[in-house]
Structure formats: C-alpha cells, structure tokens
Amino acid sequence: MQPTKARKHRIIFHIDMNCFYASVEMAFNPSLKGKPLAIAGNPEERKGIIVTSSYEARGKGVKTTMPIWQAKKLCPELILMRPNFERYRAASREIFKMLAEITPYVQPVSIDEGYMDITDTIYAKDPLVTANQLQQRILSELDIPCSIGIAPNKFLAKMASDMKKPLGITVLRKREVEKLLWPMSVEEMYGVGEKTAEKLNSIEIKTIGDLAKKDVYELKQLLGVNGERLQNRANGIDNRLVDPEAVHDFKSIGSSQTLPHDSTDVTELKQLIHELVDNVERRVKRKEAAGKTVQITIRYHDRKTITRSKKLYNYIDNHSEILFVAKELFEQHWNEEPVRLLGVSLQDMETKRNIGEQLDLFTYESIEKKEKLQVTVDKLTKKYGSNIITKNTNESQDNQQPRTSFQKDFLDDYKKP
C-alpha cells in the first residue's frame, strides 16, 4: 500500500496508550487497579530499572529508568512485576486491528502508539466522534486507556496526544501553534532529546517559539539539516505521510540495557554483550535479514556516551559473528571507566531476498558449509535446549530483563488485517 497522498487538509490521528504495560497488567488482573504498579527487571533482587509505571506510582515520584531501590524508597508500597512481552504484543495486535477497521492508512511506530490518516474515509466527517468511539472501544473491549491527538500532520498530532493524559482527546490546529506550542519549553518538543536541547539552550533557544523564530542558517550550523527540520516542526510544518509500509522499513536492529549499577567487571560486561547479541540475532532472524555493520554503544557513569562500529565485507546474521565483532569493538574502545549502559546493533540491514549475494567459486563452498552448520546448531537448540551448546538463544530472557529497545519488538509480528 502506498503512503497517503499529500493534500492541503489532512486529518491525522496519533493514538498513544496510557502507561501501556501497567495498563495491560491491570486489565489482566483488575485487583491491581488504583494501586502503585511498576514493571521492572529482577524485582526480587531489587536490581534493574523501572520500565514503566502506573499513574499512582508516578504520583509518588516513580519514573521510567529509575533504579528499583530508589523507586521503593520513594514508594514503599510499590508493586513490582516482571514484564510479560507476549501479553503486551497480543494487546498491541488487537489495538492495531481496531485502527485498521477505520482506515487502511495506519502506521505503527512502537508497540503502544501509531498514526492513522482518516482523511479519505467516511469517518472524516466528524473526527471528534470517531476519536471518542475508538477510545471507548479500546477501553471497553481491552480495558486499556489511550490518548488521541488530532491534527493536520503527524508532528502536531503527536504533540496533541501528549497534552491530555489519561483518556484525552486533543485537537491541535496549525493556527494554534503560536498560542499553544510556542510557550512550551524546547525540551518538551517531540524530536528534541537531551543533547539537542543542551545545544539549543547554548544559543539562547529556551522555548519552542525561540526555535521557530531563530535564524535557520545558525540552526543548520549547529545541528545540520536537523536544525531546519526542527524549525519547520516548531512552526507546525510537517509533510511526512502516514505510511503503512514504514513498519517494514528498517536499517538497524539493536538491543541495549542499563545496568543496575555502574560496573567495571569485565566478566559481567561481556556476559551482557552476549545477552544483547542473543536479542539482536533473534530479531534479525524474525525479519529474515542480515547486516554489514556491527555497532556498540557504551555509556559511562558520567553519562558520556560513545558509539563505535565496524563495517564488514559480507552480510552477517548469526550470533557468533555478531558477538565476535561486538566484543572486539568493546575491547578496543572501552576505557575501563565504570559502565552504566551497553548496546549492540547490526546495521546496514537488508532482507535476505534483496541481498542477492554473488557467490564465486572461492566463497561458495565455505558459505554453504557455514550455513549448514548454523542450521544444525539451530535444530539442536530447538530440540534439546540452549544448554546443549555454548551458544545461548534462550528467548525466556526477554521475560527476565527488559531491554531498552523492546518497544520495537512487536513490529516483528505486526501484520495488517
């Protein structure tokens, strides 16, 4: 399906589930409703970080990425639960099926949010009624609250959905940008992260209005093409289309994790790299893809973050090859300072059917042997479990320690009805 065609007046919805993981757990177990609830890794050992929390927990100061011990200190009655990704994926699939009944132009962007363009549907006659009916249906059938932003483009719809939570419906028109968006802090603008905000603050850009009125040449000097893009957004300009096929587009697959404590333990750090590569390999195989570049991310105790990568001659997709390069990069570039976060990603991705690698007389035999070996390893693992070989592909790890990239996991399973 092609993206929606550009037209002067479009009606775009941004649907954002409220406290999605916590909401799914409360829908599954209603006795949790009204209580401070958080989803976190290793709650029994008080290790790991808060993945998400209910509004009751947030009211006590509990925040995403906060260490569990700190969250319990702020909220001693906090209920901690391990993530159940299959449950969340199932709920997400049902939600996107509902969206697709309204319009074929649905673009998921994560497990709990997406865009839809209703411009050329019968529902365009009264967007507010449509939004209210959709919100109530999700709530009544799945017991999950959501907020909906309605606007003429994706950026404004996203900003609108954040304006009222939970169970909000907000319309944001382009003519209202100066009144409603410009007074907001630039840090609150979608697309502006912590580092970008610091750079903008350094040239006296404190609000979205400041960004909208800043000299574009100065912005491009500071941020490159992203400077002009952000200024357009600040002025309510966003020509991106709602593209149902974008869910299948990917250039990299990665996994990262914040450690429960800053660490210099080489064994612990290499074990984490091993687990991250497990996660990457599983996602790569789900997409039947391969990549040519391996990248690692290291965030230190002082929040300084570095990324280092290595481009390969051939595409790779299996655990041992990704792990070899990831460990090599880590050993070369870690400065032995305490590490707070590690990440591994496979980049320059292509689906295997598009790679079309030309195998010559000298490479065919070795590649054929390697692929046969990998098939054998996979069969043994499936039949006897991950402990039969040193390679670890235990998918249950997903339910034990959350990765910061799990928001995208559902994309592997998403299929439009």
Ligand-binding annotation for 378, yes or no, is no
Residue keyed to tokens 């046969």: 372
Give residue 387's identity as a one-letter amino acid code: N
**Those residues with Cβ within 8 angstroms of residue 195's Cβ, 6 or more apart along the chain or in another chain:** none
Instruction: For residue 113, indicate whether it is catalytic.
Output: yes
Contact 215, 235 (CB under 8 A): no
Q: Which two tokens stand for residue 82?
A: 């391990």
The helix/strand/coil state of 331 is helix
Contact 406, 85 (CB under 8 A): yes
Ligand-binding annotation for 143, yes or no, is no
The helix/strand/coil state of 253 is strand
Q: SS3 sequence, 175-197?
A: HHHHHHCCCCEHHHCCCCCHHHH
Q: Cα torsion at 372, 377, 378, 383 (round to 10°)? A: 130
| Catalytic position from the list 25, 56, 113, 321 | 113
183: preceding bond cis by omega (within 30 degrees): no
- Where does residue 255 rank: exposed (0-12), middle (13-18), buried (19+ CB within 10 A)? buried
The helix/strand/coil state of 293 is strand
**Those residues with Cβ within 8 angstroms of residue 208's Cβ, 6 or more apart along the chain or in another chain:** 181, 182, 183, 184, 185, 186, 188, 189, 234
DSSP 195-229: HHHHHHHHTT--BHHHHHHS-HHHHHHHHTHHHHH
- Catalytic residue numbers read 113
The annotation places the binding site at 16, 112
The annotation places the binding site for Mg(2+) at 16, 112
